[in-house]
Structures are given as C-alpha cells and as structure tokens.
Amino acid sequence: MAMEMTVDFPYWNPLRRRFPPDSPFFASGNVERELLAKQVALDLTEDEINNLQIIVETESRRISCPIVGCPERLNSLDSFEDHYKARHTASCSVCSRVYPTSRLLSIHISEAHDSFFQAKVARGYDMYECLVEGCGLKFKNYKARHRHLVDKHKFPTTFEFFKRTQLSKKRREKLQRQHVSKLKHEEDKEEGSSDAMEVEDKASVDGLVSALSTLTTSDTTPSNVSFGRRHGRGLTFVPRSVHRGKPTKSSSTPEPMT
C-alpha cells in the first residue's frame, strides 16, 4: 500500500500576486529601497569620515569679524588680530577707506573731510604733507606733493593717495531724482506756509474792521469838561445811551430844605 506524503512549508505558502509591479501599492517600498541603495553607495571609509569631522570642527571654530559689513571669517585668534590690524585699525569712519598706518589715515581725514584744512589751503598755506614718514615737507597743493613723491621718493606716476570714486550713471540719476523731489517738497511747503499766512492776515484784518465798526463816538467823548484855575463843576456831558435809558431830573427845581 502506497502512502502519499505531503510536505507543507512551515512559514509561508505561495500565492498569486494581485497587484502589478507598477502599482501604487509598492510605492512606499520602492522609496525605501532607493534610500537604502543611496546609503550603500555613499559609504565612506574611516579616513574620509575623520576628514569630514575635522572640516566641520574647524568651520564651527572660525571667528567672524565683529565689524559691521565685514564678511571675513578667521580660523584662529592670531589670524583675526592680523586681519583687524590690517583692515580696521586705520580705517576712515566717513568713507571706509583703509590705510596701512594711522599717520596716513590722519592725513587722509584732514585732506578729505576737514573744512578747516580746506580753508587754510584756500588762503595759500602749505598744508599737503609728504606721505613718506620722516620727510616733513609740506606743499601748497596736491599736484606739487605728487611731483615731489615721484621725483624725490621714486613713487610711480600713477600713484593716487586719494582718488574720488566716480559714481555710476544709475547712481547719479538716482541722486538727481532725490534732489529734485527734495526741492519740490520744499517749494510745496513754502507755498503752504505762505497761503496760511495770507489766510491769517485776512482773518486778523476782518477782526480789526469788525472791532472798529462797533465803536461809537460816545465811548470817546469825555464826561466832564472844566474851565478856569479851580476845578469847578463845569459842563457835564451825558452819553446818548444813558440819556435815552434813564431820564435826568431837572436841575432848576431845588430840593426842599429840612
């Protein structure tokens, strides 16, 4: 007697798949598989991981320059001190120009931003000091000092100690528009103030006319007039308004004596 033996798989049974391969049912699994594949492709060696850590730590320890508008980031305190001395110690606070020494910065401030310096130059004083420390010569104008620097100290002919920056066309047009709008605003303000003054003057004149129209001659007529050396009774004038309001007693009828 033959015995039929059936072997069942102890974990799962094969079934027909109900979804096609491109079904949305498999979307989340596909995304997870792609991420795992990328991680495997980006596996780094220990040396590469150490280099990345060093870069991250170095970047986190970098020192940002605290001066407003300066984007520099320095790797160490020494480099920051060198940067500060070179870029911010002799820097003009008006035009932000940087000079190698404090002496040159002082000369620049006097020549470019000091009205007293310009007044002395206009009077003919020797105010333009030689840029070479220890020379001590002074000149009447910028060109004379430039010739001295080129001839005596062998400066290049193209050297310019203070060269004014040329504004772009767009910047000049913007400044011109601002100037025109400012002038227009001032004119409108002056016209408004003049109109207000005219209205105020007209109102004051009208008030004065109305005040004068209310005055009468009775208000300015004296009530008593005297003649002679001694102050007597004289003539008495009674205003019309009083006369109309209160009738006066006859002065010819004497009062009875008691």
Higher pLDDT, 246 or 94: 94
Residue-wise pLDDT tens digits, 80-125: 888 887 777 788 888 878 887 888 888 999 988 889 999 999 999 9
Higher pLDDT, 129 or 91: 129
Residue-wise pLDDT tens digits, 50-88: 777 777 666 666 778 877 777 888 777 778 888 887 777
- The model carries a pTM of 0.39
Torsion of CA 16, 22, 28, 29, to 10 degrees: 60
What pLDDT sits at residue 164?
60
CB 223 within 8 A of CB 237: yes
